[in-house]
Amino acid sequence: MATSHPYDVVIVGAGPAGMCAALYTGRSMLRTAVLERGIPGGELLNTEKLDDWIGEKSILGWELAKKFEEHSREFGAEYVTATVERITKLRDGTFETVTDSGDRYVSPAVIVTAGGTPVKLGIPGEIEFAGKGVSYCAICDGAFFKQQTIAVVGGGDAAVEEAEFLTRYADKVYVVHRRDSFRASRILQERLFANPKIEVIWNAVAEEVTGDERGLMTGLRIRDRVSDEVRSLDASGCFVFIGFHPNTGVIDGHFDHDEMGYVRTDTTMQTSIPGLFAAGDLRSQLTRQVTTAVGDATTAAIAVEKYLKTRDEGSHEIVAQGSGGYTA
């Protein structure tokens, strides 16, 4: 039977941003529920190793996720396995977060850290070799492919820019694009064409990721869209950049966002809906890393504490110098 659960703050999503936010709200003695449809960790669970988490020269993604979860639980965060269907602001100013079971989590503030989802190729081997050759983040995983041959799939700004970035590590980068010209900006294309490490394969689509008995990627099968010829590329990595969707569909109501659908916030991480905060990959920003996610989350959690205090005093406004904060 569906029930109603009162909390001081509800956090939607248990990736790095959600778990860090839970740590800070817990330290502030706020009763906190973290709603996550799966195992806490988010994209960390799809990352084999990290070498850019400060203080750790190398750490496994699942290991860092476990540390985040355990640390936040130390301060009282309650984790609930549930799929959030909608977040609605009620007439009295509180939020109702409804799960797929019909349970209602009622709170005066919500932090959305639901992240985003890379658009996948949907080909055999892609899921099997995710984190073992297949990646969706050049900055995260590029350093693991030093002096290797890799492939980049895509033709927009992200694909072209990241292909050029990956030449810092790889000896050879193939760019596989389904058309005969890029959609990327001219300046990015010029940089790519000038790079001797990059070879563009036009009018081609990826059809299968192949690997060995150790579970590591060894190649990419591609098909020429003109001749229909299928051939194999020897490559130990495949970076997919064909799109990324912020997971904002759970927010019921209009909110300010950029042209790609990412949530715009003020400097306190508050959205255009007072009391609704956002942190991590679904927020409009320059880069999406674990470090930026936890930075967002720290700010959001501290801002929530201030928001609740001013709300109790009869005001919905967060006073933050230079924030241009939204007011109710």
Q: Could you read off the pLDDT of 150-159 as tens digits, one per residue?
A: 999 999 988 9
Note down the domain range covering 29: 4-117+244-312
204, part of any domain = yes
| Domain shared by 254 and 307, yes or no | yes
Binned at pLDDT 50, 70 and 90, residue 288 comes out as confident
**pLDDT over 70 for what percent of the chain?**
95
126, part of any domain = no
Global pTM value? 0.75
Polymer length of the chain: 328
Out of 41-55, 185-199, 268-282, 292-306, which region has the weakest mean confidence (pLDDT)?
A: 41-55
Task: List alpha helices for the chain, DSSP H.
Answer: 16-27, 61-74, 138-141, 157-166, 186-193, 290-312
Instruction: Kindly report the backbone phi and psi dihedral angles of residue 303, in degrees, each rounded to the nearest multiple of 5, phi listed first.
Output: -65, -35
Could you list the active site residues? 137, 140-141
The larger pLDDT score, comparing residue 70 to residue 312, is at 70
| Domain shared by 171 and 223, yes or no | yes
28, part of any domain = yes
Residues sharing a CB contact under 8 Å with residue 192, sequence separation 6 or more, in sequence order = 160, 163, 164, 175, 182, 184, 198, 200
Out of 13-17, 58-62, 123-127, which region has the weakest mean confidence (pLDDT)?
A: 58-62
Q: Could you read off the pLDDT of 215-264 as tens digits, one per residue?
A: 999 999 999 999 999 999 999 999 999 988 899 999 999 999 998 899 99
| Domain shared by 97 and 154, yes or no | no
| Domain shared by 185 and 251, yes or no | no
The CATH number given to whatever domain includes residue 9 is 3.50.50.60
125, part of any domain = no
- The last residue of one of the domains, among 225, 240, 255, is 240
Pair 235, 220: CB distance under 8 Å: yes
Report residue 241 as tokens.
């950049």
129, part of any domain = no
